[in-house]
Amino acid sequence: MKKMLKALITGLVLAALTAGFCVPVMAEAEAAPAAGNIKKLEHVGVNFDFDSVYDSTEYDTQLDEYGIIRRTPFLAVAEIIYFMIPKDEMIEMDNKLLDASDEEKQTLQTYVQSSALPLAYIVCSDLTDEKELKLALFEQDVDNVVCTETGTVDSYHFYALIPSYGDAFKNAENAGEEALDTDFGADIEKVQETLLKALSEAEYYKPHDELGDTVGTVIQFESVDLDGNTVKSGDLFKDNKITMINVWGSWCINCLNEMEALEAMHKRLLEKGCGIVGIEYEYENRDVWEERARGILKEYGITYPSVLMPENHEIFDIVHQYPTTFFVDSEGKILTAPIAGARVEEYEKTFDRLFAGEEAEAVPESGDAAESTPESGDAAEAAPDNGGAVENTENKYRVIVRDDEGNPVEGAFIQLCDDVSCQFQKTDADGVASFETDEQKAYEVHVRQAPEGYAPDENVYKTLETYSDVNISLQKAA
């Protein structure tokens, strides 16, 4: 069976890997559900009957709530994992772990991981296009994953993304793999059908965003480094204009995979008077992980400071995904919503945006004459960060996209974002995408995807704090 499992897992996309984050393996595994319990996924915005899913098979089935892994586009995710291990055998292994040696623990965990298949992903997103959703979650349009919308609340859409395994099991058997004692393909399909029924009867609501709510609060702590020296947060932050805090663990493969890039980024940040600080979370005793962690930092040539996560900290205690990355100023004030997952490109973009904003504060507000912006509907080349925005009386925000000859551009995929979520629209035949949303708030505008024949536009544009038009000019592809 192990041989067949390896072949299956190799060809499948796992959200925890493509999203670039880890959760502590087995140390914080979801316990078997209590009878009659409705599972509340507050960070995804779903309450549903997980008992019916768990009870529909004799094999172990667990639920991991990753919560909000991305805000642009918005993605909150939970994963249901199917283990090809009977429930009673899984309970026996959990009991063995209590008194197992480190080597035995590693052997048991490897066995459990080798038997795991993603049964389904429960996703809340502001995306409405199935292909865009798969690209955002898996970084590719996965053919063997069926997407079903199960609910909506305001601008939030809820989906079940369900992998299909039937043919994979049949192909494995036809290839001469050892016979299985049960038809896992049929059993998995039965469990997935039960899940879809439970989600059709679920309660949906806006996801709870604990980490997003930390923006503007101050991180203060006292901890120790790997040599046991006391370290205060004020000393780590005070000499940096901006500090990137990377919460990681020596057990987290995604954390390790980005370390080399982080060290290179840290050296670039130092040139701008900024830097990186690592906050290490370990769920084992210090004598177990200290030597291992020190070896990891040496292996990757890490020169930025890394300290142990302080205990009972109101902010770090709500981190459940690794890595998670914060950006703070010299006093430790959180500047933007934290980033979940190993996303070096997003770190770079976030830092550049924050640093550019800091530089912009030194630019006089008057003195240099600004070019006048056109009236609504006129062609204009929009400058980044102002978008050529002008007020309108339409009671909505409008994004008007034209080419460099002034012709309307149809089919541009436009994204309008505030600090919490984003909305998406495609431009119509007049080159207009309209957003009926709250006034008195400046939104960021992005061209998420330019239509065929036009060059990508990576600029960030902004609306006014009143209903306004943002004029964007797309260049034709060379």
Grouping H, G, I as helix, E, B as strand and the rest as coil, residue 60 is strand
Do 240 and 163 belong to one domain? no
Within-domain flag for 370: no
Task: Report the pLDDT value the prediction gives residue 359, as an integer from 0 to 100.
Answer: 41
Rounded to whole angstroms, how far apart are CA atoms 331 and 438?
32
Which of 187, 204, 221 is at the close of a domain?
Answer: 204
Task: Report the pLDDT value the prediction gives residue 284, as an integer from 0 to 100.
Answer: 65
Within-domain flag for 385: no
Residues sharing a CB contact under 8 Å with residue 223, sequence separation 6 or more, in sequence order: 230, 231, 233, 279, 307, 308, 309, 310
Rounded to whole angstroms, how far apart are CA atoms 207 and 422?
14
Rounded to whole angstroms, how far apart are CA atoms 284 and 278?
18
Do 12 and 97 belong to one domain? yes
Contact between 150 and 202 (Cβ < 8 Å):
yes
Q: What is the pLDDT along the chain (478 residues), one digit of tens a residue?
A: 333 443 343 334 444 444 566 765 443 434 444 445 789 999 999 999 999 999 999 999 999 888 888 887 899 999 999 998 999 998 888 888 778 787 787 788 778 878 888 999 999 999 999 999 999 888 788 888 999 999 999 999 999 999 988 666 765 555 444 545 568 888 999 999 999 999 999 999 999 988 888 899 999 999 998 888 999 999 999 999 999 999 998 888 889 989 999 999 999 999 999 999 999 988 666 666 778 888 899 999 999 999 999 988 999 988 888 899 999 999 999 999 898 888 888 899 888 888 877 543 332 322 322 222 233 333 333 334 344 588 787 788 899 999 877 789 998 988 888 765 667 788 998 899 998 877 767 788 889 888 888 888 888 888 888 888 898 989 888 7
Within-domain flag for 224: yes
For residue 132, the enclosing domain spans 2-204
Task: Report the pLDDT value the prediction gives residue 19, as an integer from 0 to 100.
Answer: 56
Do 110 and 168 belong to one domain? yes
Which of 147, 181, 204 is at the close of a domain?
Answer: 204
Within-domain flag for 381: no
Do 36 and 53 belong to one domain? yes
The token pair at 277 is 């600080």
Do 430 and 355 belong to one domain? no
Contact between 420 and 212 (Cβ < 8 Å):
yes
The token pair at 271 is 């040139």
Do 78 and 117 belong to one domain? yes
Element (H, E) at 261: helix 259-270
The residue with tokens 């200290």 is 290
For residue 10, the tally of other CB atoms under 10 A from its CB is 7
Task: Report the pLDDT value the prediction gives residue 312, as an integer from 0 to 100.
Answer: 84
Q: What backbone torsions phi and psi does residue 267 show, to the nearest 5 degrees?
A: -65, -40
Which of 156, 176, 204 is at the close of a domain?
Answer: 204
Within-domain flag for 447: yes
Do 397 and 348 belong to one domain? no
Element (H, E) at 230: strand 230-232
Do 172 and 221 belong to one domain? no
| CATH number, residue 346 | 3.40.30.10
The token pair at 285 is 């005793």
Q: What backbone torsions phi and psi does residue 208 show, to the nearest 5 degrees?
A: -85, 125
Residue type, 307: V
Within-domain flag for 84: yes
For residue 283, the tally of other CB atoms under 10 A from its CB is 13
The count of structural domains within the chain is: 3
Within-domain flag for 376: no
Element (H, E) at 237: helix 233-237
Do 216 and 187 belong to one domain? no
Contact between 445 and 462 (Cβ < 8 Å):
yes
Rounded to whole angstroms, how far apart are CA atoms 106 and 364?
60
Within-domain flag for 377: no
Rounded to whole angstroms, how far apart are CA atoms 191 and 160?
13
Contact between 161 and 80 (Cβ < 8 Å):
no
Do 221 and 307 belong to one domain? yes
Do 285 and 415 belong to one domain? no
Rg (CA), the chain: 25
Do 398 and 458 belong to one domain? yes
